[in-house]
Amino acid sequence: MKTSPDPTRADLPAGPPAHERRQRVQSAQTGMAVLKGLARLGGRAALTALAAHVGESPAKVHRYLASLVDEGLVAQEASSQQYFLGPEAMLIGLAAMRQVDPIRVAEPSLIRLRESLGVTCFVAVMGNKGPTIVRFEEPGLPVTVNVRVGSVMPLLWSATGRMFLGMLDEPAVRAMAEAELAAAPAELRAELDAADPIGVLRREVQAAGCSAVRDTNLKGISAVAAPLYDYTGRIGGVITALGATGGFDAAVDGPIAIAVRREAQAASALLGYAAAAGQGGMQKP
């Protein structure tokens, strides 16, 4: 019995052979490697430096650069012959940056910290009244604390606030800290340097790359915090972990602080912070 041809397939052109499809994929991967390599070299590089960075011959990289130039993703400076990211690459980067949300980006980090360490953790951003909690995660057996989403944390007495204080050199932040210091009871003020309480605290936070408190903001509660940097290198948020002081290691070089810094570094890389993506640790630019 003779069967009729399938009308849905009769006029379809044959696709390229499998080996040709693989070559196209490999070509696309190499082109993207060249483009990413240029970005990781600061967005500008000579041909030889870029070829060495991506591990390909200069002749091969030159061919891909020519295609990227044609598409506006790369341009070449006539005087120096260096290649740099072109206008189309800038448009792609701007579109990506507009979608970046530190709260959304940090959510997976909070969940990983909660699950791996069994601690309460949150993300805070700087609001007009001070550091404000915007996302909060609790373990199965939560620690009872009177902070929730919307709570404003003190600059001097919370790990979250100290992180912002250390990394934001702004008159408004300094004024908030001075007001807190003036209103604090003598026993709290005694915990800070007598000659330069705010300045010394800022330098300590900057040196450690994180901040820690024990029983200062909430009695019986300790916390560690690490910064979230955006693509400009500015602190855009803080990840904080906290727990009952008796079972919570708040040392800045302890396992909890290391985990919090690691998650803050990962989230900062997603926010476009180049130093977090390309270097081993968080650094203040």
* Residue 229 pLDDT grade (very low, low, confident, very high; cuts 50, 70, 90): very high
**CB contact at 8 A, 238 and 163:** yes
Give the pair of three-digit tokens for residue 34.
């060249």
Does pLDDT of 283 surpass 50?
no
Q: Which residues pair with 127 in a beta bridge?
A: 130
Per-residue model confidence as pLDDT tens digits over 45-65: 999 999 999 899 999 999 989
Q: Which residues pair with 223 in a beta bridge?
A: 213, 242
* Residue 183 pLDDT grade (very low, low, confident, very high; cuts 50, 70, 90): very high
Q: Which residues pair with 241 in a beta bridge?
A: 121, 224
pLDDT number for residue 103: 80
* Residue 98 pLDDT grade (very low, low, confident, very high; cuts 50, 70, 90): low
* Residue 11 pLDDT grade (very low, low, confident, very high; cuts 50, 70, 90): low
pLDDT number for residue 277: 42
266-280 mean pLDDT? 69
pLDDT number for residue 31: 86
SS (H, E, C) 101-130: CHHHHHHHHHHHHHHHHCCEEEEEEEECCE
Domain ranges of the chain: 18-97, 102-278
Does pLDDT of 164 surpass 80?
yes
* Residue 110 pLDDT grade (very low, low, confident, very high; cuts 50, 70, 90): very high
For the chain, percent of residues with pLDDT exceeding 70: 83
Average pLDDT, the chain: 84
Per-residue model confidence as pLDDT tens digits over 231-250: 888 898 999 999 888 889 99
* 18-97 CATH pick, 3.40.30.10, 1.10.10.10, 3.40.640.10, 2.30.30.100: 1.10.10.10
Class of domain 102-278: alpha beta
